[in-house]
Chain A
């Protein structure tokens, strides 16, 4: 509200002052003036004000108009009509500029400046002068075209001189005054002094008359360098102020009857000056707008180039800081960018296929030539790399060993599709020999521990194995002794002897099988996976534990799926898991005082292409809060336990992509489950 009031007061004061300036610069006997500032001031106010507040500006101008023009002794209808014509000019200019320009209060592109020049500088004075001339002709009886012409030229000149100067002075002036560095201020001051001096000289204000031998007829051209310099150095604002200054000097001189047009009648002097200034101002303003536009575009371009350089430098710094060797490939497999690590990672003693490749070399060809002779499966890898290069696949990675002087080294290569229309890929190559060795070490330790646990379990079952062997041995001994006694009889019963020997053979085999099973179970060999039936595995384990169960007085019941429960796994390791769970179950039953002394093994094929095995016991169940700890190494609830059994079970099942878990049975006791992927295809 205060702002609106302030601007209204400013408009009123400006208008009032403008009328007086206009009246002062009148050259009798013509009514219109050399310049007529009120209309331009009103136009500038409208350009600076949003349309919904235009009425404030127009209303503020009315009292100023009345106050200024009543003093002239003109009749009220004429004063009011002139106000209407003044307003019509400002409105046409403001509406035209607003309609055609994207930013009405700026003149810093050729388009904005041209819109202003056409709408405010040409069309608005042109149209409003018809109204004005009509009013003046009717009321005062002057010549219509003479009035029209006088008013048109003076208003065109005023619009061109004042509107950009006022608008830019209001919008950019305060900021310039506050922030401009001293050098700029000095430059502006020098230009002003030069303009005044040269202007004064050119327009004959000084006593020294231009006397250059062979110089131009009118020395006005000497002003041009100053005006051009102002346009180049200070843009439309500078050009505009410079033109105002030139006008002031020129009018001052003309009013004093001096200057290059001094010989003409006053009215023609005015017209000549008007046309001179209009013709000078139009291209100068356009030039200033083009220059500032150009400068802004160049600066924006500079910023973008700078940003691009920064991003380029960042990219290359990233590439060079990577731990792995990185190369960027074009669609054809040619290397189009490299990290400096490439030569370190892939070169000396590095990956054989890509060693020594540089910018522009074809990675794919080098790989194909070198790898195909050294590596099995290289062709598949090449095909996959091609898929990534052509964008058919997002990424691909592989590891490969290579023999070097210092022994076997391992490399991991990862190829990721380059996300751009022309495709390509980013290759990274890392030496993973130490990681691979650590992995192998861990795997070896795991296998040793697994084997150790089998030996440990077998040790716990010594009594059971003794029992298992004693049975056939007893059979053999008693049968053999009976046979010897039979031989003493005469005649010996040969068919009985045959039966005896047959029993002895069977028992011998049975003892041999017990020992074979134990040896298989204890054998230390690399895991060998094959398609096998978990039902069979469970049977084998139950068979091995049969004596143990009898000794402990525990019943082992099996509840197996009717169909084979097929998995792709290592037989001995799965035996170990099942045995571990069954031994735990029997231990649990031994702790319990319940009447039932049973452990049940279930096997099932599930609908999810997995198999499920469960070992339930009738023991005391798991201790609350131990579910998560059960499979941790060294966690045990048994007085003599090592706490490794279930940890190894988890490791074995995990290695087979399965899961193992324990829980309490609703009906009492504990249940241990494991599930792993099923082999869906029928075994060959």
Chain B
């Protein structure tokens, strides 16, 4: 690997899924940081270093879509891959329309996931980005 290690962030409310993804991505050569909820990511995430965001759609309180909209509204263009245990075509369409890289249904084949991450990294540009303190979590 000649390019600098890229940072992938996983936001999923399910601990087992988070740990599995972390291992899979690490062993595939990525830096991984995980958050259990959208709110935890907003409060503690270092948006500037994020190359790719793996985002669960259905989470208590704020959904993955909510987080995507917040980031877009705040001007961040982080490549997002949605993963969901419960998805349908309209949901996928909504995600893709809002600019997601991919929409993957659980359970998934690891090649599909890694391929999507690779595409996200290719698309990702590390731009200097403003902080998003002003995001109002309650707007969901």
Interface residues of A (CB under 8 A from B): 463-464, 466-468, 470-479, 481-483, 485-486, 489, 496, 499-500, 503, 506-507, 510, 547, 549-551, 553, 555
Knowing A478-B24, A482-B27, A485-B28 are in contact, say whether A471-B19 is a contact too (CB < 8 A): no
- Cα–Cα distance between A156 and B22 once the two chains are bound (Å): 142
- Cα–Cα distance between A586 and B36 once the two chains are bound (Å): 24
Are A478 and B17 neighbours in the complex by a CB distance under 8 Å? yes
Which 8 residue pairs spanning A and B have beta carbons closest together?
A: A478-B20, A475-B16, A482-B23, A470-B85, A481-B110, A479-B20, A474-B106, A467-B85
Convert B58-87 into 0s and 1s, putting 1 for each residue whose CB lies closer than 8 angstroms to a CB of A: 111101000000000000000000010110
Are B85 and A466 neighbours in the complex by a CB distance under 8 Å? yes
Convert B1-42 into 0s and 1s, putting 1 for each residue whose CB lies closer than 8 angstroms to a CB of A: 000000000000110110111011011100000000000000
Give A500's nearest chain B residue, CB to CB: B23
Are A496 and B23 neighbours in the complex by a CB distance under 8 Å? yes
Are A474 and B19 neighbours in the complex by a CB distance under 8 Å? no
Does B128 touch A at the CB level, under 8 Å? no
Does B130 touch A at the CB level, under 8 Å? no
Q: Give, as a whole number of angstroms, the nearest-CB distance from B109 to chain A.
A: 8
Give B23's nearest chain A residue, CB to CB: A482
Q: Majority SS of interface residues in chain A?
A: helix
Are A503 and B86 neighbours in the complex by a CB distance under 8 Å? no
Knowing A477-B108, A555-B61 are in contact, say whether A485-B24 is a contact too (CB < 8 A): yes
A473, A477, A500: which has the most chain B beta carbons within 10 Å? A477
A471, A489, A506: which has the most chain B beta carbons within 10 Å? A471
* Interface pairs (10), CB distance under 8 Å: A466-B86, A467-B58, A467-B86, A468-B85, A470-B85, A478-B17, A478-B21, A482-B20, A503-B19, A550-B58
B110 touches which of A468, A475, A478, A510 (Cβ 8 Å): A478
Chain A residues closer than 8 Å to B26, beta-carbon distance? 482
Does B107 touch A at the CB level, under 8 Å? yes
* Contact residues of B between 108 and 131, Cβ < 8 Å to A: 108-110, 113
- Cα–Cα distance between A646 and B67 once the two chains are bound (Å): 38
- Cα–Cα distance between A555 and B60 once the two chains are bound (Å): 7
Given A475-B19, A479-B24, A547-B58; 12 other pairs, CB 8 A cutoff: A470-B106, A471-B85, A475-B17, A476-B107, A478-B21, A478-B24, A486-B27, A496-B23, A506-B16, A507-B16, A510-B16, A550-B13
A467, A478, A481, A489: which has the most chain B beta carbons within 10 Å? A478
Chain B residues closer than 8 Å to A471, beta-carbon distance? 14, 16-17, 85, 106
- Cα–Cα distance between A208 and B110 once the two chains are bound (Å): 159
- Cα–Cα distance between A483 and B26 once the two chains are bound (Å): 11
Q: Give, as a whole number of angstroms, the nearest-CB distance from A548 to chain B.
A: 10
Chain A residues closer than 8 Å to B61, beta-carbon distance? 555
- Cα–Cα distance between A476 and B20 once the two chains are bound (Å): 7
- Cα–Cα distance between A467 and B19 once the two chains are bound (Å): 18
- Cα–Cα distance between A549 and B13 once the two chains are bound (Å): 14
- Cα–Cα distance between A485 and B20 once the two chains are bound (Å): 12
Chain B residues closer than 8 Å to A467, beta-carbon distance? 58, 85-86
Knowing A466-B85, A470-B85, A489-B27 are in contact, say whether A479-B107 is a contact too (CB < 8 A): no
Chain B residues closer than 8 Å to A481, beta-carbon distance? 24, 110
Q: Give, as a whole number of angstroms, the nearest-CB distance from A99 to chain B.
A: 106
Chain B residues closer than 8 Å to A499, beta-carbon distance? 19
- Cα–Cα distance between A549 and B86 once the two chains are bound (Å): 12
Q: Give, as a whole number of angstroms, the nearest-CB distance from A484 to chain B.
A: 9
Are B58 and A477 neighbours in the complex by a CB distance under 8 Å? no
- Cα–Cα distance between A290 and B85 once the two chains are bound (Å): 113
- Cα–Cα distance between A477 and B19 once the two chains are bound (Å): 11
A464, A472, A489: which has the most chain B beta carbons within 10 Å? A472
Are A472 and B23 neighbours in the complex by a CB distance under 8 Å? no
Are B86 and A474 neighbours in the complex by a CB distance under 8 Å? no
- Cα–Cα distance between A481 and B107 once the two chains are bound (Å): 12
Chain A residues closer than 8 Å to B16, beta-carbon distance? 471-472, 474-475, 479, 503, 506-507, 510
- Cα–Cα distance between A549 and B106 once the two chains are bound (Å): 18
Are A463 and B86 neighbours in the complex by a CB distance under 8 Å? yes
Are A477 and B107 neighbours in the complex by a CB distance under 8 Å? yes
Q: Give, as a whole number of angstroms, the nearest-CB distance from B18 to chain A.
A: 9
Q: Give, as a whole number of angstroms, the nearest-CB distance from B40 to chain A.
A: 16
Are A551 and B110 neighbours in the complex by a CB distance under 8 Å? no
Are A553 and B63 neighbours in the complex by a CB distance under 8 Å? yes
Q: Give, as a whole number of angstroms, the nearest-CB distance from A586 to chain B.
A: 14
Q: Give, as a whole number of angstroms, the nearest-CB distance from B49 to chain A.
A: 23
Knowing A485-B27, A550-B60, A551-B58 are in contact, say whether A479-B19 is a contact too (CB < 8 A): yes
Q: Give, as a whole number of angstroms, the nearest-CB distance from B56 to chain A.
A: 9
B20 touches which of A464, A475, A489, A550 (Cβ 8 Å): A475
Knowing A482-B24, A486-B27, A553-B63 are in contact, say whether A477-B85 is a contact too (CB < 8 A): no
Chain B residues closer than 8 Å to A547, beta-carbon distance? 58, 85-86
Knowing A467-B58, A482-B20, A489-B27 are in contact, say whether A474-B85 is a contact too (CB < 8 A): yes
- Cα–Cα distance between A473 and B14 once the two chains are bound (Å): 12
Chain A residues closer than 8 Å to B24, beta-carbon distance? 478-479, 481-482, 485
- Cα–Cα distance between A540 and B99 once the two chains are bound (Å): 39
Knowing A467-B58, A470-B86, A555-B61 are in contact, say whether A475-B23 is a contact too (CB < 8 A): no
Chain B residues closer than 8 Å to A472, beta-carbon distance? 16
- Cα–Cα distance between A246 and B63 once the two chains are bound (Å): 131
- Cα–Cα distance between A503 and B23 once the two chains are bound (Å): 11
Chain A residues closer than 8 Å to B28, beta-carbon distance? 485
Chain A residues closer than 8 Å to B107, beta-carbon distance? 470, 473-474, 476-477
- Cα–Cα distance between A476 and B13 once the two chains are bound (Å): 16
- Cα–Cα distance between A472 and B20 once the two chains are bound (Å): 10
Q: Give, as a whole number of angstroms, the nearest-CB distance from A595 to chain B.
A: 9
Chain B residues closer than 8 Å to A477, beta-carbon distance? 20, 107-110
Give B18's nearest chain A residue, CB to CB: A475
Chain A residues closer than 8 Å to B59, beta-carbon distance? 550
Q: Give, as a whole number of angstroms, the nearest-CB distance from B88 to chain A.
A: 9
Are A479 and B14 neighbours in the complex by a CB distance under 8 Å? no
Chain B residues closer than 8 Å to A489, beta-carbon distance? 27
- Cα–Cα distance between A555 and B17 once the two chains are bound (Å): 22
Q: Give, as a whole number of angstroms, the nearest-CB distance from B94 to chain A.
A: 14
- Cα–Cα distance between A550 and B21 once the two chains are bound (Å): 21
Chain B residues closer than 8 Å to A486, beta-carbon distance? 23, 27
Give A548's nearest chain B residue, CB to CB: B86
Chain A residues closer than 8 Å to B110, beta-carbon distance? 477-478, 481-482
Chain A residues closer than 8 Å to B13, beta-carbon distance? 550
Chain B residues closer than 8 Å to A496, beta-carbon distance? 23
B19, B26, B83: which has the most chain A beta carbons within 10 Å? B19
